[in-house]
Each structure stands twice: as C-alpha cells, then as structure tokens.
Amino acid sequence: MTLPVHLVAAGALDAHTVGSLARLDGPEGRHAVVVRRTRVGERLVLADGAGRAVEGEVVHVERDLLDVRVDVVREDPEPSPRFVLVQALAKGDRDDQAVEAATECGVDEVVPWQAARSIVQWRGERGEKARRKWDAVLVAATKQSRRTRRPVLGPTSTTTDLVERARDAALVLVLHEDATEPLAAVALPEAGDVLVVVGPEGGIAPEEVAALEAAGARTVRLGSTVLRASSAGPAALAVLSAASRWR
C-alpha cells in the first residue's frame, strides 16, 4: 500500500537529509492529525510539489502538527516530454472533473482556455475565484494520486494566447470528433511540451481549429465515440502515458 503524501511549501525540504526531523504544520498538519488521524509510528511522505520528497516515520504528534524522522530523500525529475492539458472552460463542474482526472493521469500543466464557444466566462473576481478552485483541485488530486510533483496551473488563455503557445510547443494535438488521425498512432517527441487541446461542450469553433492548425497543430480522434469535455482530456492523457510513461 502506498504511503500518504502531504504537500509542503516550496523549499521547505531543501535542507533535510537522512536522520533530520521534518515538521508538518499549518492547515496540512491539521489535516494529517485531525482528519487523517495520523499517529506516532506511521510512515508518510512529505513533498514540495516540485519533485523533492522525504519519507519517514512520525515520531511526534500534537494538535495541528507532527514531526517525521527522515530516512529517505529523493528527487523525482520532471518528465520529458511534458504533457500540457489545454482545457476549455465548461459549465457546471465538468472542467473541475477534467482537471482532477488529468492530474491522476500524470498531466504536468493545466491551461484554462477561454474558447469561443465556452459558456462560462472567467472575468474579474469570478475568474480569480474559479482559478483558485482549479488550483485546490490540483493540490487535492496530487495528494490523492501520491504524486511528488503537482501540475502547474498555467495562465488563463484566449485563443490568441493558445495559438502563440502552440507555435513554441513540440507537439499540439487538438481532440476533434471529425479528425481521421488516431491519437494512439501519434509518435511523441523526446522533449518539449505536448499540448492536448480539449474544447467546450459546443466543440471547438472551425476558425479556432484553423488557427491552431496554421500554428502546427494536428487534429486527432480518440475513437469512434464522442467524449464529454470532462473525460476527453484525461482519456487522451491515459493514451499518451500508456505509450510512454506507463511501460
């Protein structure tokens, strides 16, 4: 059974070596003690979300903190190539579901996309609140899936922003129901960003597809069925991971 993972602030684990005591406090420490009921003698992992992690036994517990005696220190390198999910904003909680499942499937970055046909609009305080919610989903899914690297939440992007980024990416794959090229047959580059673009409920507008193709993107299909905005991205990431990381 895999050990529970708790995220700490960036840099908090830099000085720790085998034999040192690592403290988990604040909201995460309170969650470990009060919600998970972690006790002395149990083992867990502390991760900084950027690949550095320590593992050890809990030797001290208080109301909202605990101390871990470190016996393993590891650095998990950033995967190459990087998988980037460009997720169009969707109504309800479908985009939240996509972000959660994509994290579990190993996505390295998630980019919120204000597509032409997105019903939801991220503007002002509402937009900031929605971004904070996505970030919270990323954190929770990172811990649930026992990852030491949490996905980056990219800037909220317009189609113009996305086209600019597509020009610099190693590979851009636009999921489209009318595409003829199967995703499973695509060869991945050895390095760089691989963008997986998922449209909103109404689909990606033709002019958006044309603009992305002009920037070097390829339209691909997952299979014979049409997936929802909440499941298309994670399914695509699972296909890519099975062809590369999950061997």
pLDDT, the chain, mean: 94
**Cβ burial 15-52 (10 Å sphere, 16+ → b, else e):** ebeeeeebebeeebbeebbeeeebeeebebbbbbbbbb
Domain boundary among 39, 57, 75: 75
The runs of H, that is alpha helices, within the chain are 26-30, 94-104, 124-144, 159-168, 206-214, 229-242
Is a pLDDT exceeding 80 seen at residue 1? no
Q: Do 206 and 156 fall within a single domain?
A: yes
Is a pLDDT exceeding 90 seen at residue 226? no
Domain boundary among 75, 101, 129: 75
Give mean pLDDT, residues 53-65.
Answer: 95
Of the two residues 100 and 90, the one the predictor is more confident about is 100
Per-residue pLDDT of 169-196, as tens digits, reads: 999 999 998 999 999 999 999 999 999 9
Residue 13 sits in which domain range? Answer: 5-75
Of the two residues 223 and 35, the one the predictor is more confident about is 35
Residue 131: CATH number of its domain? 3.40.1280.10
pTM given for the model: 0.92
Q: Do 97 and 185 fall within a single domain?
A: yes
Model pLDDT, residue 214: 97
Give mean pLDDT, residues 39-47.
Answer: 96
Measuring CA to CA, which residue among 150, 132, 133 is closest to residue 141?
150
Domain boundary among 52, 75, 98: 75
Residue 247 lies in a domain: no
Q: Which helix (H) or strand (E) holds 173?
A: strand 171-175
What burial class does residue 117 get, using C-beta atoms within 10 Å of its C-beta: 0-12 exposed, 13-18 middle, 19+ buried? middle
Give mean pLDDT, residues 233-242.
Answer: 95
